[in-house]
Each structure stands twice: as C-alpha cells, then as structure tokens.
Homo-oligomer: A and B are copies of this chain.
Amino acid sequence: MPTYTAPTKDMQFVLHDVLNIAGSDIPGYADLEPDFTSAILEEAGKISAEVLQPLNAVGDTEGCALENGVVRTPQGFKDAFEQVKAGGWPGLDMPEEFGGQNMPYVLNTAVGEMFSAANQAFTMYQGLTHGAASAILAHGSDEQKQTYLPKMVSCDWTGTMNLTEPHCGTDLGLMRTKAEPQDDGSYKLTGQKIFISSGEHDMAENIIHLVLAKIPGGPEGIKGVSLFIVPKFLVKEDGSLGARNGVSCGKIEEKMGIHGNSTCVMNYDGATGYLLGQQHKGMRAMFTMMNEARLAVGMQGLAQAEVAFQNALDYAKDRLQGRDVTGVKNPDGPADPLIVHPDVRRNLMDQKSFTEGARAFTLWGAMLIDQAHRAGDKDADGLISLLTPVIKGFLTDQGYDMTVQAQQVYGGHGYIEEWGMSQFTRDARIAMIYEGANGVQALDLVGRKLAQDGGKHVMAFFDLVKSYIAETKGQDADFDRDFLDPLKAASKDLQAAGMYFMAEGMKNPNNALAGSYDFMHMFGHVCLGYMWARMGKAAREALDGGTGDPEFYATKLATGRYYMARQLPATALHLARIQSGAEPVMALEAANF
C-alpha cells in the first residue's frame, strides 16, 4: 500500500531560503519565522500521513453511497473529519472574529498540498467549504456572515458551489435554474445542478449551498445570473437548525476517481435561498475567489504527483530487476534495483524536478495572493490573475502526466488497484477538468489575461525574469550556463509567442486562440524555469555560505540542472506550434472531420 511523507523540509526551503517570507512586509508575514512555520507544517504533515493517507484507499474502494436521500461517506471519514476540525485546520487562514486563525494564505497552501496529497477526495469537503465561506466573507451581509461563517470556519457546516447544469458547464449563460423573489425578501429556487462536489454527506450538521440561478425578468445570458445561499436546513434566528429546505441529492455519480467525495446531482424544488451580493452580479461574486480556488486545484496536480513520486521512488529503490550496464551495483542480490537504469532515472527526475518546481510556483503564487489581499497591492493582484490559469492548467496537466509516469515505474503492478498507483492517476485526472477545464484556462490566459490593463502584467512578468537574470548573472559561470542561459532562451520564446499573438491575432483572433494551449504550457515552463533559477541560486548561496545540509542543496542544484536541460527546451516546440498559426487547426469543415 502507498505511503506519504510530508515534504516539510522542501517547503521550509521554499518559504524561507527562496521566498524569505519572514522578511516580507506583507501584513502577517513577520510572524512566519522558520521555527513557527516548521511547527505548523510538521503538525499538518503528521495528520496527513497518519490520519488522512490511510483513508485514501478506503475512500477509493468503498466510495460514497446514496440511501434514502442520505449520502454515506466511507468508513473512517467522519472520525478523520472530526480530527481535522479539532486541529483547527479548516480555519487556518480565516478571520479570528469567525473562529479562524488569520494565518496567511501561503501557509494554508502548504498545508493544503499535504492534505490533498494524502487524500484528495476527503480534503475536498473542507476545500469546498473554504471556497463557499470565502464568498460569503467577501459578499455577505453582516447578518449572513454572523449566521454562516462561524459554523463554516469550523466545518461544523460544510459548503458547496453549484454552477453546472446538465446542458451547461463552461457556458453558464445557458443556465435554467430559477430564483423567484418572495415577499419576505428571500427567493424560491427551482432547477437541477450537477457535478456538485460534497453536495450531500453525513459529516456535517448542515450544508450551505451557494447556487447560481436566474431571477425571472432579469437580463439574458450570463448577465442575468445571481448567487444565492441555500442551506440544507434553514437556520433559525437563534442560530439553531430549523426545517429541512427543498433541496435534495437526486443521485451520486460513478466517477473515474475521487470516489471518497460525493459528486451529487442536486435538485432544487422551490428551495428557500438568500441573495448573496447583488442581483445579477452572481458570476462576479462566485469568481471573486477564483484565483485562490484555481491555485488550489493547480496544487492538487502537484499533490498527486508528489505522493505518486514518493511511492514510485520507493519502488524503484526496492524492486530488483536487471543489472546496471555500467557495472553491477548490488552484487549480493539477484539483480540491481530499478533505480540504476537510466530510463527509470529519467522518469524519476522528470517527477522530482516537476514537483519541486511546482511547489515553489504555487507557494510563490500564494504569496502574491497575500500581497494582493493583505497589502492591497494591485500589481500583485494583476500578476497573480495572469498566472492563475497557468498554475491551474499547467500544473494539473503535468501533475497528471507525472502520476502516469509514476505508475509506469511499477510495471504491471502499477495497473493493479491493490498497489494504489492507479488511484493517483484516476484522482489526478479530475483536476484537469473542474474549476474550469484546462482549455478554458488557456482561453482565459490568451483571450483575457494577456491583454488585461494594456498588457501591463505580462510585461511585469517579463521584467521580473529579466531583472532577476541581470542581477544574478556573472557571479558563477556554471550557474549562468546551466540556469540563466536556458531561462533567458525560454523567456525569449515566450515573448516571441506573445508578439505573434499581437501581430497575427489582430488579423484573425483564431491565430491566437489556436495557440492558446501551447502558450499556457510554455508559460508554465518559463515559470518553473524561473522558480528553478531562484531555487538554484538559493541553494548555491547556502552551499557557499556553508549553512544547512550540503547534500540537500547539492541535490537541489542537480535537480534544477535537469529541469533546465530536459524540460525547459519544450518552449521551442510550443513556439513552433504557435507560429504555425490557425490555418492547420481550422482547415477542415466540421462535416469533414
């Protein structure tokens, strides 16, 4: 059975050696000294490895069951949920006034990686609640906040997000769910929502559904969508639970993975709902928290890749098969371990260089979010808005591929459910789809974010990379050759793609859109290259300074060199594809496919 060890040492390296969080002037960051973050990460690592991970396979095998309208979660989930609640984890970054601990989001992200790696399906119950609570925090009236947030911050009540309907996922303007105004100021909601994660389950006293719906007579399409709070049990004035509301789970879906999370068809039959935020501004309210939500999904890609990698690595060290062609490594055994073989190493190094780069990328992204929210920095907000589709799309695509590679290390055993590697790929697959399918992320990046504020944020990104190279260059010739030169080349490829979009997209927008997916991946590689250059520099300085564990830093440098030599050159291929333009992509009539 698979195991999980929280990568706390690597997280500490990123938070302190690379991002120097305690030295940042973002409000709340001064407290984040290494000893403090270490204590929190170790504690989160412990509950992840000891409580959540052992339930991962249970959740997969047992799944959820709908019986008489009630969803039964897998055995052990409820106990584990109580332990997570008792530890105060759901409220880590929530305001103290509602029972939270008001920690920065960057810490929440590190903890989230561990929880997701240990048990993605389980962690979603808490993750959706966090998203719903954040929306209420941002858009709710004082009364709504007082009514719902204390219970949601503690996860006594959980939350959901209801967007999709059978005939509309991405194109929410087609939505049919109706919200009819009542005399008392409430609404009656009627319609069906699908793919509602954690929509119904047995781990919370109440479930607070956030539901998008149209108020009759409002504007057509997406501009007529409003957001509503629809509790499973209505809440009385004294805060106690009242009548069951007209919302029910009609079905739970049989899915490829994340079996431990109940994915529900939710039926609203004149359910009582309360407007959250303004009428017809539902999309805006739902998407206020989009950067965090999408970063969290990108992090799931990293998380599944990490746990899959850890197990593939263990297997590659243990399994004896064949001999090293350059000389026997295990003369006392019948064969050498798999890890001696160059192609197995290639596979493992792909995984290792991805997960460590992705970890730095998500933590840097989370720090930008803190800078935007806690310090009110509009430039940081613009930059993270630009990077959000890259984090979501690139990390979930690559994270999935890495789980497939990890599975491959196991040979035939990778295909057998008992060994657990299949679950990592099946669970990781969803992250490429939900919270905006990755093609939609690419469209958001190229169609919206690139040109936002006159292209200011993408220029800022290029400046960041450029000045980093300029500041760092000339101190160490090997480092320049291995890290900075490849980064410069990749960044130039990305700029060339941007220029192509500007020049050719003017003539025909499809010239930009046909290259959007490649652009997203290319951008992701440049970001990971930038992260690796920063990590490499930190590792080199630590080695030069003689601080810390020299093997750790030397390994970090070697892993970075691998990424630079073998992954970053992908930017040239993406550029070539982009520059071939829309014609090859759009040449066929639909009927001739």
Which residues of chain A have a CB within 8 Å of any CB of chain B?
Answer: 164, 167-171, 173-174, 194-195, 253-257, 313, 317, 320-322, 325-326, 334-335, 337, 339-349, 352, 400, 404, 407-408, 411-412, 414-418, 422, 425-426, 429-430, 432-434, 437-439, 442-443, 447, 508-510, 513-514, 516-517, 551, 554-555, 558-559, 561-562, 565-566, 569-570, 572-573, 576-577, 580, 582, 584-588, 590, 592-593
Contact = CB atoms under 8 A, between A and B. Distances in A.
A394 B30 CA distance: 52
A343 B514 contact: yes
A565 B587 contact: no
Identical chains bound together, number: 2
Contacts of A195: 412
Dominant secondary structure of chain A at its interface with chain B = helix
Contacts of A326: 508-510
A377 B168 CA distance: 58
B415 A433 contact: yes
B592 A442 contact: no
A424 to B, nearest CB: 11
B443 A415 contact: no
B412 A164 contact: yes
Nearest to A573: B573
A517 B580 contact: no
A572 B256 CA distance: 35
A411 B169 contact: yes
11 contacts: A171-B320, A171-B335, A253-B418, A257-B415, A325-B447, A325-B509, A325-B513, A337-B590, A411-B437, A566-B584, A569-B573
Given A164-B412, A173-B335, A562-B587, 6 more contacts: A174-B320, A256-B415, A343-B514, A343-B516, A352-B593, A561-B584
Contacts of A577: 565-566, 569
Contacts of A349: 584-585, 588
A411 B433 contact: yes
A345 B509 contact: no
Contact of A586 (B345, B408, B510, B516): B345
* 3 nearest A-B residue pairs (beta carbon): A342-B513, A256-B422, A565-B580
A569 B576 contact: yes
A559 B592 CA distance: 10
A417 B256 contact: yes
Contacts of A313: 593
A403 B353 CA distance: 26
Contacts of A429: 404, 407, 415, 425
